[in-house]
Structure 1
Amino acid sequence: MQILIAPNAFKNSLAADQAAIALAEGLKESGLICSLSCFPIGDGGDGTMKLLIKHLCLNTVEVNTIDPLGRPIKANYGYDQKTATAYIEMADASGIRLLADNELNPMKATSQGTGLMIKDALVRGARYIVLGVGGSATVDGACGILSAMGAKFLDKKGEELKVSPLELLKLDRIDLSGLDKRIEYCRFTVLTDVKNKLLGSKGAAFVFGPQKGASLEQQEILDDFLEHLNCIWTTQLKKDAGRLIGGGAAGGVAAGLWAMLDAELLNGIDYFLKVTDFDKKLTKADLLITGEGAIDLQTLDGKGPFGVAYRAKALGLPVIGVAGNVPLQTNEQMDAYFDILIPTGHGAVSLEELKKCTAENLERTGKLIGKFLQFASKKTVK
């Protein structure tokens, strides 16, 4: 039996490659006679670019940049010299994981550090920027990114504003005349794993603001800021991002890059599976095992496990999904893509405790799957 193990990251607990290794170890411990192949996946969330760098065997470039609060840091991105393509992870310069819990503040955090990484890639000769935007700490509509590349954000007096949401509520005009000229010869792709639009109750501020440290009052201010920013885009650039599917990703970075740099937005898992030639690997498999922190109806909106399960089902392969949280009730939509959903939790524990034991639980779950497959094969032979 050929088993393909293709999990997504288990958010805030285990990277995708580590999750794949844990499941594989458990399957080996079970004594199941099989051939295992690990293919960790990324759907645009935090860690996607690191996986692409590994899968595509890319060189890494170290760059001096700043974190969301403006402190100097070093970060890496992948660069393909042959295609002049840079693969940049927004979270490496502008991510939540760079800040302590008490430092999270989207009213002050900016995406300038990501802009500095992009600028470095342009200097290197990049003609194509692929940006993964998961795990960001910012809600600045990409204003930080643009400012790092020469854009100026001006008030009614023509004075330059700081690129923080509170300051940018006074924005009257965006001056793009100072943008790095190399941008004219470069195209941009934003990879996202969400479909949220920019504004409103299901937009960037209200859905993603809380995890970035925003209070309810701050969420309302951030939504007002993004609405004001979109008005500027609409009147000045003739680009209304309000209805853009996925525009709310990364605190409006997706919408901002679409409006100000003509970036294209792509479903992260579709892009990832295409450039890594996942389908070729899948054709050799008899069973697919995938997973992430939670598998539910939202997974079907283009998350990583759905992406691989969809392709497996097109080939008639069985699919096992493992997650910290799975639906209690079965439903036809989920059953169409996942033959079995297995929760990795063991006993009544808190979410924090569950996260600490993710690797251990995945290994145990892998062993359980292996034992079950052995039992099933014996019953089939009889």
Structure 2
Amino acid sequence: MHILVAPNAFKNSLDAWQVAQALGEGLAQSNLECTTQLFPVADGGDGTGSLIVKSCRGLIITKEVAGPVGRKITSQFGLIENRATAIIEMADASGLRLLKEGERNPLKASSFGTGQLIKFALDEGVKRIIIAMGGSATVDGGCGILSALGVVFRDANGDSLAAYPENLVNMASIDATRLDERIHGCEVVILCDVNNMLLGPNGAAAVFGPQKGASAEDVTVLERFLKRFAQITLAQTGKDMTAIKHGGAAGGATAGLYAWLNARLEDGIGYFLSLTNFKDALQQAGIVITGEGSIDRQTLQGKGPYGVALLAKQAGLKVIGVAGLIPSEPDEELNRYFDELISINEPNIALATALAITRVNLVKAGKKIGNMLAG
């Protein structure tokens, strides 16, 4: 039996490669005679860029950029397809993981460094830029990125505004006359891991602001800024940032780049699996194992395991889902894609404890699955 092991990362614990390796180790310890292929996946969240570059045998370019609070950091981007395509991970330049304790404040955080990476990619002469947006520290609508590329935001007096939400709430006009012209000859593709719209109770400010350090008062300011940005953008470009699916991802950066860079917003997992030729791996498989930290109804909204299971089912393969958390009762919708769901944790285990022993439990789960398949 040949088993395709294709998990997403277990958030706050192990990255996708580590998860795949642990499951593979467990399978090797089982009584099952099998071969395995480790094919870790990502859906646009933190880690997507590095997985794409590794899978496509790309080249890593290291550069110094401004981090989310302006501090100089060493970041990177990848080049694939004979250096014609750049892979940029927003979290590498503007990510939450780059902030020190107490620095989370989306009113003062900027995506400027991600824009600098885009400029460096343009210097390489790329014809396509793929941006994985997950894990950002910002709710700036992508204004920092646009600022790095030459866009100027002005107040009612015509004075330029620093590209931070606490300043941009006073935006009155947008001057794109100095936008880097090279971007017009480059396809920009954004991989999105959430479906949230830009504004409202399920929007960028309300949902992701608090995760990035915003207080209730801050969320109100962020919402006002994003609404103002969208109004001005609609008036100047005719593009409605508030009407697009995925517009709230990465603190609204998806919507901002859609409107001002003509970026194409893509479902992250679907694009990832296509780019990395996942269907070719499926042709060799007899069974597929996937997973992430939690598998529930939200998984079906475009998360990594759903994308894997969808293609596996289309190929007529059995799918086993592995997670830290699974529904306590059978779920008809999930059962359409997952033949079996397995929790790696004991019932009622404390979260901190579960995170600490994730790898151990994944190895155990892999062994359990192998023994189950061996009969």
TM-score (norm 1): 0.96
C-alpha separation in 1, matches of 2:89 and 2:208? 18
Q: CA deviation at 1:360?
A: 1.2
Partner of 2:214: 214
RMSD across aligned positions (CA): 1.1
Partner of 2:370: 370
**How high is the sequence identity, in percent, across the aligned residues?**
50
User: Is structure 2 residue 9 aligned with structure 1 residue 9?
Assistant: yes
Residue identity opposite 2:282 in structure 1 = L
- Counterparts of 1:275-294 in structure 2, within 5 Å, are 275-294=275-294
C-alpha separation in 2, matches of 1:83 and 1:240? 33
C-alpha separation in 2, matches of 1:331 and 1:349? 22
Partner of 1:270: 270
- Preserved CA contact (<8 Å) 1:43 1:268: yes
Residues 294-346 of structure 1: per-residue CA shift (max 9 Å, x gap) = 11111111111000101111122111001111111112110000011111112
Q: Which stretch of the first structure deviates more once superposed, 344-353 or 30-39?
A: 344-353
- Preserved CA contact (<8 Å) 1:346 1:361: no
Residue identity opposite 1:356 in structure 2 = A
Structure-2 change in CA distance of 1:349 and 1:108 (3 Å)? same
Secondary structure of the equivalent of 2:126? coil
C-alpha separation in 2, matches of 1:229 and 1:112? 17
User: Is structure 2 residue 103 aligned with structure 1 residue 106?
Assistant: no
Q: Which stretch of the first structure deviates more once superposed, 253-262 or 344-353?
A: 344-353
Q: CA deviation at 1:82?
A: 2.7
C-alpha separation in 2, matches of 1:81 and 1:329? 45
Q: CA deviation at 1:352?
A: 2.3
Residues 96-146 of structure 1: per-residue CA shift (max 9 Å, x gap) = 111124111101000001001001111111221100000000000000001
- Counterparts of 1:222-241 in structure 2, within 5 Å, are 222-241=222-241
Secondary structure of the equivalent of 1:262? coil
Partner of 2:146: 146
- Counterparts of 1:132-211 in structure 2, within 5 Å, are 132-211=132-211
Q: CA deviation at 1:81?
A: 6.0
C-alpha separation in 2, matches of 1:357 and 1:110? 35
C-alpha separation in 2, matches of 1:47 and 1:81? 19
Partner of 2:60: 60
C-alpha separation in 1, matches of 2:81 and 2:154? 37
- Preserved CA contact (<8 Å) 2:184 2:261: no
In structure 2, runs of 5+ residues without a counterpart are none
Secondary structure of the equivalent of 1:159? coil
Residue identity opposite 1:102 in structure 2 = G
Q: Which stretch of the first structure deviates more once superposed, 219-228 or 130-139?
A: 219-228
C-alpha separation in 2, matches of 1:363 and 1:143? 44
C-alpha separation in 2, matches of 1:267 and 1:215? 30
Runs of 4+ in 1 over 6 A off after TM superposition: none
C-alpha separation in 2, matches of 1:255 and 1:280? 33
Secondary structure of the equivalent of 2:190? strand
